Amino acid sequence: MSRGQFPSTRMRRNRMQSFSRRLMAETNLTVDDLIWPMFVVEGQAIDEPIASMPGQYRHSIDRLVAKAGEAVGLSIPAIAIFPALDSSMKDADGTGALDGNNLICRAVRAVKDAYPDLGIICDVALDPFTDHGHDGVIRDGMVANDETIDILCQQAVLQADAGCDIIAPSDMMDGRVGAIRTALDHAGHQNVIIMSYAAKYASAFYGPFREAVKAGVSLGSTGKSSYQMDPANSDEAMHEIGLDLQEGADMVIIKPGMPYLDVLNRAKTEFGVPCIAYQVSGEYAMILAAAENGWIDQDRSMMESMAAFKRAGADAVITYFAPQIATILHSK
């Protein structure tokens, strides 16, 4: 066989030109895959930079509404809003979560009034409201599962009352999805979606987020290990996801994102339900830091990470890069 005849199968043929690469692409990212997380604080005309997350800010409600307008202009389908409260507004039991006029509820109402068709996602957990930073109330030195759930149910209903479209329980209490589903239904919110943080790991990648929301910074690397998942486990994640689906979850989140692509892929393969990847603050900060030092190309690495999430099975990605990604996609 002459060199000119070998090999007959040349995988490079389909890669040689832009049009053929586009035709053969197995994974496609669109603006419809993006969820943009945002932070809100009390006050007016505030855009407070977050040191560990360059390009991210804590916005007062008026500025948050303006950012929501940017999301609409970019055709991003949904935003996730996280409150950052002053320590004076927190207590041991997170009672501020049960105030229907608290920061997050006012923010949701303001955004909904301005942009009724924009999807709004709210976490259900007590850590933004507790002075100790845990996701639930502490009793005898431990987070009290069942008492916390009672509070979370009330919190979820108040957020739905304010106009939240998707309730996202991020607390990792056992049985909370079923209890919240029942509470929402009884309150007339049968159509409010539950996007459960079903596989939320006790990860080192949350540090910048905790600074952003001013919650849990002092807990250290093992502070939430009694309820968030062990990074070594994936079978356990499948069990968690299965339970949440049985209890009525409509979608599930795998968090963090990139370090847990195997978990994301297993979840999509085994359950076939809508799976959301969360590209968390530490992932964002690492890409930004390396790009700012000239070590990697920010846009290429950002888009490559999105392709990885989609390839692994993500139906959507929560990412702080959402506006940059949307801008790139619209330019194509």
How many whole angstroms separate alpha carbon 51 and alpha carbon 231? 27
Catalytic residue among 224, 255, 268, 310: 255
Instruction: State whether residue 32 is helix, strand or coil.
Output: helix
How many whole angstroms separate alpha carbon 214 and alpha carbon 85? 7
Whether residue 130 contacts residue 84, with contact meaning beta carbons closer than 8 Å, is answered with no
DSSP state, residue 284: H
Q: Tokens in use for 209?
A: 């987020």
DSSP state, residue 91: B
Task: Confirm whether 255 is a catalytic residue.
Answer: yes
Catalytic residue among 200, 224, 268, 310: 200
In sequence order, the 6+-apart residues with CB closer than 8 A to the CB of 152 are 124, 125, 126, 136, 169, 171, 173, 176, 179, 180
How many whole angstroms separate alpha carbon 201 and alpha carbon 253? 11
Q: Are strands 251-255 and 119-124 parallel, antiparallel or unpaired?
A: unpaired
Whether residue 68 contacts residue 115, with contact meaning beta carbons closer than 8 Å, is answered with yes
How many whole angstroms separate alpha carbon 212 and alpha carbon 208? 6
How many whole angstroms separate alpha carbon 214 and alpha carbon 132? 11
Task: Confirm whether 200 is a catalytic residue.
Answer: yes
Whether residue 276 contacts residue 249, with contact meaning beta carbons closer than 8 Å, is answered with no
How many whole angstroms separate alpha carbon 144 and alpha carbon 136? 7
Instruction: Kindly compute the dihedral angle of the four CA atoms of residues 28, 32, 33, 36, in this order, to the nearest 10 degrees.
Output: 140
Determine whether the annotation assigns residue 48 to a binding site.
no
Give the catalytic positions in this structure.
200, 255
Binding residues for Mg(2+): 240
